[in-house]
Amino acid sequence: MKWIEVVLETPREIEELLIDKLYEYEIDGVNVEDDKLIFDMYESGTGWELIDLPEEKPGDSVNLKVFFNIDDYNSYIRAELHEYIERLDADVKIISEEILDNMDWANEWKKYFKVLKLGESIVIKPSWEEYEKNDGEIVIDIDPGMAFGTGTHASTAMCLKIMERQKIDGLDILDIGSGSGILSIAAAKLGAKSVTAIDIDPVCVKTTLENADLNNCSDIIIAKEADLTEGLDGKYDYALINIIAEVIVKLLDYLHNNLKTGSKLILSGIIEENTDMVIDKLNSTGYRVLELNRDSGWTAILAEYINA
């Protein structure tokens, strides 16, 4: 069987939109090549040793690398992808298509996912990597498979860093757009009483349950396939929402039905250009913005529901 490696160049602001499209096909992951993350790490002075620092500062685009079965790609995926790119009306380009023989394509992307420490204590560990835990660390084992969420993306990393600073032990947590379950597991390990993880994609629900079991959190985390809050009737102390800004704005019209007065929200997956749109919606629907976090062109917001 032959596989084809396809590399797309896309503006950073529609990276997530394009990744969502790619996940409609039978793929095991998307490798995001973004030199800006390397530069930001280097310039932050956090002590990272970077051997391959690019010579030039990055521009406004990133590369997405993905592997397809060549027969599927030639029969329908290529045409669909080109048509989708044309409809986007953005500077997205397929910059290479390379046929590969006898490649372990299902595991190829794993070489880009390594142990990562975020904040003071949270460590994200690929399930296949070895790691010796230090005192006080919270280690989260993740095998994302086909689901989004390794902690390496700025939107997920900011959520985890905000969560670490919050007091969530003993609380009931709602995670909308759970992906790989990384935020749900972090909440459980930070002491949450219960976590309800929601995703519209059955693959993400399955992955969340598998990762919950991997982290011994199955007794705390319930995963459901649903469209946003569809079918929910409970009231939660905390909501974790890492999806695109347009969906967040829609959700805020009725999310309060599942929140208590004083409930906190972490909203992420927001490109900087859409930050004001989300803030305006929060202010007009009974929320108060407590904190803004920005990283690599993305925004995460900590907010509080104040009107019951």
Over residues 159-187, mean pLDDT = 93
What's the confidence (pLDDT) of residue 43? 54
CB 150 within 8 A of CB 180: yes
Mean pLDDT of the chain: 84
How would residue 46 be classed by pLDDT, with cut points 50, 70 and 90?
Answer: very low
How would residue 217 be classed by pLDDT, with cut points 50, 70 and 90?
Answer: very high
Q: Out of 42-56, 106-120, 228-242, pick the least confident.
A: 42-56
> Could you give the dihedral angle defined by the CA atoms of residues 117, 123, 124 and 129, in that order, rounded to the nearest 10 degrees?
100
Over residues 193-222, mean pLDDT = 93
Q: Strand, helix or coil at 115?
A: coil
Which amino acid, 222? I
Distance CA 278, CA 18 (A): 21
Q: How many CA atoms lie within 13 A of 48 on its CB side?
A: 17
Distance CA 64, CA 112 (A): 13
Percent of the chain with pLDDT over 90: 46
In order of 34, 41, 164, 243, the CA distances from 152 in angstroms are 11, 12, 16, 16
Residue pLDDT, tens place only, 90-105: 889 999 998 876 555 4
CB 58 within 8 A of CB 15: no
Over residues 19-28, mean pLDDT = 82
What's the confidence (pLDDT) of residue 49? 40
DSSP code at position 257: G
Percent of the chain with pLDDT over 70: 83
What's the confidence (pLDDT) of residue 174? 97
How would residue 39 be classed by pLDDT, with cut points 50, 70 and 90?
Answer: low
Question: With 90 as the cut, is the pLDDT of residue 17 above it?
Answer: no
Strand partners, 64: 8, 32
Residue written as tokens 């902690």?
151
| Annotated domain spans of the chain | 2-111, 113-305
Task: Enter the tokens of residue 81.
Answer: 């992808």
How would residue 52 be classed by pLDDT, with cut points 50, 70 and 90?
Answer: very low
Residue written as tokens 């490109």?
271
Residue pLDDT, tens place only, 218-275: 999 999 999 899 989 889 999 999 988 999 999 999 999 999 999 999 999 898 889 9
Over residues 58-72, mean pLDDT = 83
Residue pLDDT, tens place only, 145-157: 654 566 667 888 8
CB 37 within 8 A of CB 296: yes
Distance CA 177, CA 269 (A): 10
Give the residue among 71, 183, 208 at the shortest CA–CA distance from 124. 183
Distance CA 148, CA 157 (A): 13
What's the confidence (pLDDT) of residue 250? 94
CATH topology of domain 2-111: Alpha-Beta Plaits (3.30.70)
What's the confidence (pLDDT) of residue 28? 63
Compute the C-alpha angle 69/73/74, nearest 5°: 120
How would residue 213 be classed by pLDDT, with cut points 50, 70 and 90?
Answer: very high
Angle between helices 154-165 and 182-189 (to 10 degrees): 20
Which superfamily is assigned to 113-305 in CATH?
Vaccinia Virus protein VP39 (3.40.50.150)
Distance CA 188, CA 190 (A): 5
Distance CA 198, CA 227 (A): 8
Task: Enter the tokens of residue 59.
Answer: 């521009």
